[in-house]
Amino acid sequence: MAERAAVEIRAGTVLPARRENIVLRTADGLDLVGELARPPRRDPVATLVCLHPLPTAGGMMDSHLLRKASYRLPALADLAVLRFNTRGTSSERGASGGEFGGGGPERGDVAAAIEFCVTAGLPRIWLLGWSFGTELALMWGNVPPVEGAILLSPALRRAGDGDLDAWAAGGRPLLALVPELDDYLRPGEAVERFARVPQARVVGVDRAKHLWVGETYVRIVLNEIVRLLNPAAWPLPAEWKDST
């Protein structure tokens, strides 16, 4: 069959994937709603577990960077992308059980997502945390079988030096993408704070802000993810051509 014309990838572009609604069950009996997006034709080469920004400030599984990761990366980079609402969080997908716990009880949410990936046989589990989600990754994600974590706009307000020291001791890699104009932690301070984790890499992003608004910054983030998890698919194309 002849190839279709290439389509420019824009903010609202949804590329093909095998998508399924999922429910995660926590050890304390909560049901957390989510979605798993797999590559459309092949098995994934790695898995992203997305941990969203602060739900009391509007964070959820549909927060734009996480949504765009699920819309693009299965097709463009053969990654599986799991998004879910932490306890007490609602989105178009629905409401997760329980109440927002401030970060502590959400340990069970992170554990449930990891367990789901293991049971589903998903490969190479990486955490993708954004803002509040970076705190959850640092506090509760330094466990097998997690390979490492990617941190978008880390604030280091709940997670402290003890958590960073544990990551240093565990040896799992950390990649921190830090906006130049972040509201909470800027690149210079981030380099100092993460210096206690030898395997951490801090990337400052010029002119970016905490919320990464704008397609320029979305593409920077997605390209950094792919360069780490599937270098063969980097850099990401700006157009999509589906031959099916």
Q: What percent of the chain has pLDDT over 70?
A: 98
- Residue 103, pLDDT above cutoff 50: yes
What pLDDT band is residue 230 in, cutting at 50, 70 and 90?
very high
- Residue 172, pLDDT above cutoff 50: yes
What one-character DSSP code corresponds to residue 241?
-
pTM value > 0.85: yes
What one-character DSSP code corresponds to residue 217?
H
What residues contact residue 243 under an 8 Å CB cut-off, 6+ apart?
A: 1, 3, 4
pLDDT tens readout for residues 17-65:
999 999 999 999 999 999 999 999 999 999 999 999 999 999 999 999 9
Task: Quote the CA–CA distance of 53 and 59 in Å, as a whole number.
Answer: 4
Give domain 7-240's CATH number out of 3.40.50.1820, 3.40.640.10, 3.40.50.300, 1.10.8.50.
Answer: 3.40.50.1820
Tokens describing residue 104: 């502590």
- Residue 102, pLDDT above cutoff 90: yes
Q: Pick from 57, 87, 49: which is nearest to 183 by CA?
A: 57
Average pLDDT over residues 55-82: 98
Tell me the domain boundaries of the chain.
Answer: 7-240
What pLDDT band is residue 72 in, cutting at 50, 70 and 90?
very high
